[in-house]
Amino acid sequence: MTNVSGGTLRRRPAQRRSLERVERMLDECANLLDAVGYEALTTKEVARRAGVPIGTFYQFFPDKQGLVRALALRNLEAFLARITARLGEAELSHWTDVVDLAVDEFVEMKRTIPGFLVVDFGEVLTAPGGPALKGTDRMLDAALENNEVVADRLRALTVERLGVPAGAALDRALLVAVEAADAVLKLAFRVDRQGDPGLIAECKLLVRRYLADHLP
């Protein structure tokens, strides 16, 4: 079960039953995003499908946007957990292998995780590959854009796992890499709902070559 930050919830679930209800609501939110899209998503239908009273929904989430914000955070935590698990299993010969691994995990989530084509790490997409709904660029943090949050979490992983020195230069490089990868992968899923293989390969190449000037 994925932990959802207390910062995204009105009330942190303390009991197992409450945790399970929150997870069910997030699961149904993801399923409905695939089925009807964000605009037609309603809190009432999420609660009905999750088998919880609408009052229980509002105990944990302030509104539909709050629910989707929590789903985006869960997606990010799942992405980081998948990368961490793969790093523990794989024999990597070079940091460029980590780039390929991260892109592959993101693409696999786009292909298999409910709702991920519509909401991955915050932005709400009106179609696979965009465009994004206005005002959804700061879903994870009111002060930071979504990609800044993603880059920051990847920075912590990079410093810890690869032993790369932390600093402003690394922060800037990872933000540029995340922004570039995000743009190319959006294009890949705009061209092909399963992700165009050629564009995915180009994304890996672009990020590897860019980061080669910034990582040892």
Cβ–Cβ < 8 Å for 177, 210: yes
- Please name each of the domains of the chain with its CATH number: 6-211 (1.10.357.10)
Q: What is the pLDDT of residues 22-53, one digit of tens each?
A: 999 999 999 999 999 999 999 999 999 999 99
Please state the pTM of the whole predicted model: 0.91
SS3 state of residue 17: helix
Residue 89 Cα distances to 82, 135, 156, 167, angstroms: 11, 39, 19, 28
Distance between CA atoms of residues 181 and 216, nearest Å? 20
Q: What is the pLDDT of residues 73-90, one digit of tens each?
A: 999 999 999 999 998 887
Cβ–Cβ < 8 Å for 136, 123: yes
